[in-house]
Structure formats: C-alpha cells, structure tokens
C-alpha cells in the first residue's frame, strides 16, 4: 500500500495515476467531501490531519511507501516521518523545492529541516527537488481571463517550469519501485527555461488572443496575492520566490523527468492547452 499524505495538486494526480495502474493507494485528507472523485477512481481515502499524529498512524497501517507532500510545515511532515518509522514503512518520497538552510525564504529553510529529519530517520528516502510549478499560473487565470494580461515581480528571469502532473508521475513511479532510488535526489523541471514574457507568448498562441505581461513591484505582487485570498505569510514567501526568479534563481533545467519516466516532460504549451478553459 502506498500512502499519499495530501490530496492537493501533486497528491491527487499521483493517487489517480497509481489507482489507474491498479496499485493499492491511500490518500490522507482532512475533508472526506473533497475526495469523492479520488474515491470513485479507486483510491482509498483516510480521514486525518497531519497535525494529529494518531490520525497519521491509522492511515499508515500496512504502508510500504509514502509520498510526503503537503504545505511543508516541519512539525507536520516530521509527524509523518515519525509515523512511518513506527509502522516500518520502508520508503518516503519527499516532495521538496530548492531547499537550503540559509535561504532568505522561510519555506525553503523549512524544507531543509524536513529533509534532514527524513535523512536522519533511517527510512529509505528519495528527494524530489522541484522547480516552480506551471500550475502557479492558474492563480493568474482569473486575471488573464478578464484582462488578457498578467503581472509579476519575476521580471525577465527565466524559469524551468514543471507541470505538477509530471512531479506526480515521478513520485508515483518511485513509490512503486523505490529500491533503486534510495538515498537519491532528483531535480525536476520542464524541458525549457521560460521568462514570464515567453509564457505570455505561449498563452497568446494557445488562446488565440494577445496576452500581455507587465512587471510588478514586490509590494504590488504581495498585495495582489493577498487580494486573491492567499494568506499573508504565504503571499510574502511567494513574492520573495518570484523576486528571486528575476535574479535567475530558477533558471535551471535537468533531464531527471525524461530519465525517470522514459518520456519528455510536459511543455508549458501542453499545460496551457490542457487548461485553456481556465484562461478564457
Ligand atoms: N508551487 C510550486 O511552484 C512548488 C515548487 C516546488 C515545490 N513545491 C512544493 O510542493 C508542495 C505542495 O504540493 P502541492 O502543490 O500538491 O500542494 P497543494 O496543491 O497546495 O495542496 C496542499 C494540500 O495539503 C492539504 N493539507 C494542508 N494541511 C493539511 C493537514 N494539516 N492535514 C492534511 N492535509 C493538509 C490541503 O488540504 P485542504 O484542502 O484540506 O486544505 C491540500 O490538499 C510543497 O512542499 C511545496 O514546497 C511547490
């Protein structure tokens, strides 16, 4: 049995892929009502909360591998690591980012704390250090649909954007056969490095109307996210990450996705085509 710790964009896609392959898969969710589509797809759904270890212990029963994905609050993800140790789950595939202990972004320091706790646990582990998700553009979709324009503090910085569905596919693949991936770190990206102006050009092509990009200041970016309902601390970290884009921090690609999946990583054009309705 493979346990996926949340049903967000990566967790849901990984669960669907595993269910499609007829692999036993369980997903932990806080709200069963949000998981009806997964249950219908053959995913076992366990009600729980990563802040409550006893609920993780129930979901961990009979589990051989875990896909550890969540908003990456250290205490919560380390609860999962502790539960996996108690249950003798063999392997944890950890979804992470460009983690570093001295990052200016708290979320990346938190990821390092979790990675270190996992490595010290004695469990088998694989780290998936992912570049920024294409799905972040879905937050801009209402503005793009309304104004055919979007802004960011990302400036001219290029980003090796990855489709979260490819992150899910890699996580699922490793969770099914973890042995050869134990102790490894993979750097997951899409196939190309795109600036936000490049992304606007792709969206223009796919949507058949001109989409324009305009630069924002840090404060405008932070406020736009807060206005869109993002909690203030998260908006601050997201705006910090986007300002680092402008300085080339995410200007990297790697070939781990094609090597692990035996097919190319999805392009931004594929992502935009699949989500065209959201931008229209
Ligand atoms: N976005 C990016 O560009 C990017 C890039 C690199 C790495 N990452 C990493 O990807 C991870 C996030 O993955 P994602 O995008 O799949 O997440 P997501 O779509 O934001 O979903 C988060 C999920 O966690 C659930 N959740 C939150 N707190 C919970 C709790 N206490 N107990 C149980 N479930 C809980 C939420 O459920 P509810 O519906 O109940 O709230 C939601 O389903 C993070 O580690 C992040 O650092 C992201």
Query: What are the distances in angstroms from CA 42 to CA 17, 26, 37, 111, 216?
Result: 10, 9, 9, 31, 44
Distance of CA 104 to the CA centre of its chain: 20
40 confidence band (pLDDT: 50, 70, 90): very high
258 CB near ligand 1 (under 6 Å): no
30 CB near ligand 1 (under 6 Å): yes
74 CB near ligand 1 (under 6 Å): no
Residue nearest to atom 1 of ligand 1 (CA): 133
Query: What are the distances in angstroms from CA 22 to CA 16, 17, 88, 106, 274?
Result: 10, 9, 23, 38, 25
Distance of CA 18 to the CA centre of its chain: 17
199 CB near ligand 1 (under 6 Å): no
At 182-241, the pLDDT tens digits run 999 999 999 999 999 999 999 999 999 999 999 999 999 999 999 989 999 999 999 999
Percent of the chain residues topping a pLDDT of 70: 100
**Which tokens belong to 103?**
């990052």
pLDDT value for 228: 87
Say how far apart CA 241 and CA 99 lie, in whole Å. 12
pLDDT value for 16: 98
Q: How far does the centroid of ligand 1 lie from the alpha carbon of residue 238, in Å?
A: 14
Q: What is the dihedral of CA 266, 5, 28, 277, to 10 degrees?
A: -20
At 143-178, the pLDDT tens digits run 999 999 999 999 999 999 999 999 999 999 999 999
pLDDT value for 104: 93
Percent of the chain residues topping a pLDDT of 90: 100
Span 64-81, average pLDDT: 98
Q: What is the mean pLDDT of the chain?
A: 97
9 CB near ligand 1 (under 6 Å): yes
Query: What are the distances in angstroms from CA 120 to CA 116, 125, 278?
Result: 6, 10, 42
Q: How far does the centroid of ligand 1 lie from the alpha carbon of residue 182, in Å?
A: 23
50 CB near ligand 1 (under 6 Å): yes
Please report where in the chains the tokens 């190309």 appear, as a residue: 192
């Amino acid at each position: 049995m493979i346990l996926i710790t949340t049903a967000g964009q990566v967790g849901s896609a990984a669960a669907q892929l595993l269910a499609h392959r007829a692999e036993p898969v369980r997903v932990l969710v806080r709200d069963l009502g949000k998981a009806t589509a997964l249950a219908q797809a053959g995913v076992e759904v366990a009600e729980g909360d990563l802040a409550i270890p006893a609920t993780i212990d129930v979901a961990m029963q009979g589990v051989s591998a875990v896909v550890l994905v969540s908003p990456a609050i250290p205490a919560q993800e380390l609860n999962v690591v502790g539960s996996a140790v108690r249950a003798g789950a063999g392997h944890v595939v950890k979804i992470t980012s460009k983690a570093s202990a001295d990052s200016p972004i708290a979320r990346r320091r938190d990821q390092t704390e979790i990675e270190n706790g996992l490595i010290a646990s004695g469990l088998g582990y694989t780290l998936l250090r992912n570049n920024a998700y294409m799905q972040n553009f879905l937050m801009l979709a209402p503005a793009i649909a309304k104004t055919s324009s979007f802004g960011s503090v990302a400036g001219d910085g290029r980003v090796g954007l990855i489709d979260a569905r490819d992150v899910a596919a890699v996580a699922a693949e490793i969770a099914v056969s973890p042995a050869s991936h134990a102790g490894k770190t993979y750097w997951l990206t899409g196939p190309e490095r795109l600036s936000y102006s490049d992304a606007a050009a792709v969206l223009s092509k796919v949507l058949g109307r001109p989409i324009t990009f305009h630069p924002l200041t840090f404060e405008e970016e932070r406020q736009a996210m807060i206005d869109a309902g993002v909690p203030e601390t998260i908006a601050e970290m997201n705006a910090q990450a986007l300002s680092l884009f402008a300085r080339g921090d995410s200007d990297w690609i790697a070939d781990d996705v094609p090597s692990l999946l035996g097919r190319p990583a999805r392009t931004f054009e594929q992502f935009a085509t699949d989500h065209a309705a959201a931008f229209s």
